[in-house]
Structure 1
Amino acid sequence: MARIKKIWGVVIIYLILFLFFIISFFPVFYTFMSSFKSNMDILTTGNMLIPKQFVLDNYVKAWKLADFRTYTTNSMFLSFFCVVGAIFSSTICGYVFARATFKGKEIIFYFMISSMFVSLGTLTLYPLLMIMKAFHLNKSLWGVIIIRVFGMNVTNLFIARGYISSIPSEIDEAAKIDGCSFCGIYHRIIFPLCKPLIATVGILAFRSAWNDYMLPMVFTMTDTRRMPLVVGIMHLKSSGDAASSWNLMLAGTAISLVPMMIIYIIFNRYFISGMTAGAVKG
């Protein structure tokens, strides 16, 4: 009887997980399938998942009409510096909050963590634009990079602090005996041990930078040559023969999804271990 209950419990768990998988994967599957439809099929038979006829010409037209080389280069430029900046800012701040001792450390940390539950949306967009305008960076992707890096993603900080806290403090004490400073411990000991954390923060930062639309759109609307891929793809909607060329936009969207999927597949193992370690201790 107990064995039957255990089997049914496992079956129910897998059914629930499969249901969540279907719900999560459906938008991606629908995007890929719709990218092979003609624009008329999307407008008239949008409820059908499988195209009546696969139109490969959508990808050819999307690639020709959009300057994918420039857009992709801009996205790689934006993503690279956002990822590098996020890794160093998150690991340094996580190390300070996990290992340093100073007055008000816990209060400062909990105030920062509490901002996870406050969503201002686009209300901060205009003030950020004015700040970057003062530094003459309001028409450049550097403005977006500075905002993303120094804005400090609280989720990354929370994960970084939890992961670094799980590293035995005896390693720090041994390094201090050998004459290593606080900064030296981070550089020589902590950072090399944070490969799973680096992969986790890197993937989260890459996903955020690669898929970001609103901020890059505002900062590059006056210069299309600086637009990243996601912003440039939106122009495909009005670049075809119809008033709204959804087929071309969905084909471009499908192309933009590929790098994100490849990055996740490569670093999946480190991503999972970093997330797990960051969740256990905090």
Structure 2
Amino acid sequence: MEKSRAILSTNQKIGRGIISFITVLFSLLMLYPIIYIILGSFKENQELLLGGAKLFPSKWVIENYIQAWQTANFSVYTKNSIFLGIGVMLLTVITATMAGYVFSRKKFKGKEFIYGIFLAFMFVNVGSVTLRPLFELSVKLHLNKSLWSVIFIITGTGQATYIFLCRGFVNSIPKELDEAARIDGCTFFQTFYKIIFPLLKPITSTVALLSFRAGWNEYILPLVFTMSNDSMRPLTVGVNMLKNNGDGAAAWNIMFAGATLAIIPMILIYLLFSKYFMQGTTAGAVKG
């Protein structure tokens, strides 16, 4: 049985063609830096320093990866990045889902005002201004000797967007479930983790992926907090140090090889969980 096709006018065809062209153009602009780094990791350093518009290497050099792995302590850096990413992810999922549930269901004085402040911080980025006070605070709390200080800071400063998504998703869940749980004797918190939290799988997957990426890709905070301890460095900091291994010139080929090794896990994770990521983002943003 043949499927019926909608008949498009000339203007509709032109409009779709323009949208498709813009989509492809922006996709190429987004992918170009990644492709350039991956292909650049197989080039000789001299070829990278000379520049040029040639994307593919004149000579494919596999030794860049061997040198990058041997020069940088990749096993330690990878372990630190995994610890940082998972730590941020777990804390964020717990705090963001609980806060989203409270802002959606709980009634208390000043709720909308506090929630409005959280939303305002979605558009405010204080950047490196807070680095010094945060570092001094971590020293006073004796947290500067581990990556826990970085985990707490990343988790705390990235809550606004995650709470917004979680609150929106919780709003889409019927309140009759809360009422039924309350009749059965569940407390507010029991209702959350027994009834509501299992239903938050799509948005939880989205928050987990975004927060893991935030922890994995963070550079400034780990750089500042691990200056005195090389064994605490994650991949983002360790890879950047590779460019100083050249003989008088920046070793971009080695750094590109290290960067490729560092971004592969993140790409694989996104490919595996992209379906849940899109479902959660759409549900959390639209239903809120």
TM-score by length of 2: 0.94
Q: Please say which of residues 11-20 and 59-68 is displaced more in the overlay.
A: 11-20
Alignment deviations for residues 148-200 of structure 1 (CA, whole Å, 9 cap, x no partner): 22345211111111111111111111211222111011111111011111111
The amino acid that maps onto 1:244 is: A
Q: Distance in 2 between matches of 1:187 and 1:195?
A: 12
The residue that corresponds to 2:218 in the other structure is: 212
CA drift of 1:2 comes to 4.8
The residue that corresponds to 1:79 in the other structure is: 85
The amino acid that maps onto 1:161 is: R
Q: Distance in 2 between matches of 1:111 and 1:153?
A: 12
The amino acid that maps onto 1:253 is: A
Alignment deviations for residues 4-28 of structure 1 (CA, whole Å, 9 cap, x no partner): 3332222222111111101111111
Q: Please say which of residues 168-177 and 20-29 is displaced more in the overlay.
A: 168-177
Q: Distance in 2 between matches of 1:98 and 1:250?
A: 45
CA drift of 1:140 comes to 1.7
Unaligned runs of 5+ in 2: 1-6
The residue that corresponds to 1:262 in the other structure is: 268
SS, match of residue 109 in structure 2 = coil
Where do 4+ consecutive residues of structure 1 move more than 3 Å? none
Alignment deviations for residues 207-233 of structure 1 (CA, whole Å, 9 cap, x no partner): 111010110111111110110111111
The residue that corresponds to 1:148 in the other structure is: 154
Where do residues 263-282 of structure 1 align in structure 2 (5 Å cutoff)?
263-282=269-288
Unaligned runs of 5+ in 1: none
* Among candidates 177, 181, 184, match of residue 187 of structure 2: 181
Q: Distance in 2 between matches of 1:255 and 1:81?
A: 21
The residue that corresponds to 2:172 in the other structure is: 166
The residue that corresponds to 2:235 in the other structure is: 229
The amino acid that maps onto 2:237 is: V
CA drift of 1:236 comes to 0.6
The residue that corresponds to 2:130 in the other structure is: 124
Q: Distance in 1 between matches of 2:198 and 2:77?
A: 34
The residue that corresponds to 1:60 in the other structure is: 66
The residue that corresponds to 1:10 in the other structure is: 16
TM-score by length of 1: 0.96
Q: Distance in 1 between matches of 2:275 and 2:167?
A: 20
Q: Distance in 1 between matches of 2:236 and 2:48?
A: 21
CA drift of 1:56 comes to 1.0
Q: Is 1:111 the equivalent of 2:111? A: no
Conservation of the 8 A alpha-carbon contact between 1:87 and 1:201: yes
Alignment deviations for residues 235-258 of structure 1 (CA, whole Å, 9 cap, x no partner): 111123343101000110011010
Q: What is the aligned length?
A: 282
Q: Please say which of residues 235-244 and 266-275 is displaced more in the overlay.
A: 235-244
The residue that corresponds to 1:134 in the other structure is: 140
Alignment deviations for residues 256-280 of structure 1 (CA, whole Å, 9 cap, x no partner): 0101001111111110010001111
